[in-house]
Amino acid sequence: MIMRSKRNYDEMEYDPNQATPSGSSPKKHTQPAIKAGPRKKARVSDASAAEDATNKGKKNTQSQSWMDIKLPREDEREIPIYDDCNEIRRKIRRLQKTPGFKLNHWLKDIGNINNNSYARFMRYEGETGGASNGTYYAAYVYFEKVRILEGMKKTTTRLANERQHSRTGFSRKLPSRWIWVRDGEPWR
């Protein structure tokens, strides 16, 4: 049994006219061209092919993604928030239980949120704990857009929060923990 070499230069024959003792070569040596095999075609998933077949000829009037939905005052980052921090954390934990959910992909999609910022927000407690964190605002916008996309109604808690906080929504600033007292006045 004869074994073929894996390298092309092992199969080349020595030509005495090609190389001189000084190391220079009168003829220019070119390596043989390596033939590339046939290119593989990209795999097409059955799900996307079936989806294309069902949508053929139909105009889609509904948004395909939550990212396509625009909320009023979204560009100025001034959307009033009507869910407290505990509610947002509860929704995030419920979202994490969905199959195929990738946290890092979601954080990037909702506003390129840093993983450390997200972890800090999830560690806070209370209705206002973490209100100044960027995760709070970005997650609220995401859940509001998904609610609109899926056509879900507002919850009774949400409606009560809208009545209580009217146009401004929950504050995104930390409550002040400092007490200012004038010199000479007793603290109460």
pLDDT attached to residue 10: 52
Is 82 in contact with 168 (CB distance < 8 Å)?
Answer: no
Q: For residue 156, how far is the Cα from the chain centroid?
A: 30
Q: Is the pLDDT of residue 36 over 60?
A: no
Token pair belonging to 104: 């890092």
What would the pLDDT profile of 89-140 be if each residue is shown by its tens digit?
999 999 999 999 999 999 999 999 999 999 999 999 988 888 999 999 999 9
In a domain, 178, yes or no: no
- Condensed to tens digits (0 to 9), the pLDDT of residues 166-175 reads 777 877 676 5
Q: Which domain holds residue 98?
A: 80-165
Q: Which residues pair with 81 in a beta bridge?
A: 169
The answer to the question of residue 25 being in a domain is: no
169 neighbors 80 (Cβ within 8 angstroms): yes
Within-domain flag for 112: yes
pTM of the complete model beyond 0.75: no
Structure tokens at 157: 């808690």
Look at residue 88 and tell me if it is in a domain. yes
Q: Is the pLDDT of residue 40 over 90?
A: no
Q: Identify the residue with better confidence: 69 or 44.
A: 69
Residue 35 has pLDDT above 60, yes or no: no
Residue 123 in any domain: the answer is: yes
Average the pLDDT over 14-38 and give the result: 54
pLDDT, average across residues 27-45? 57
Structural domains in the chain (count): 1
Mean pLDDT of the region 141-151: 91
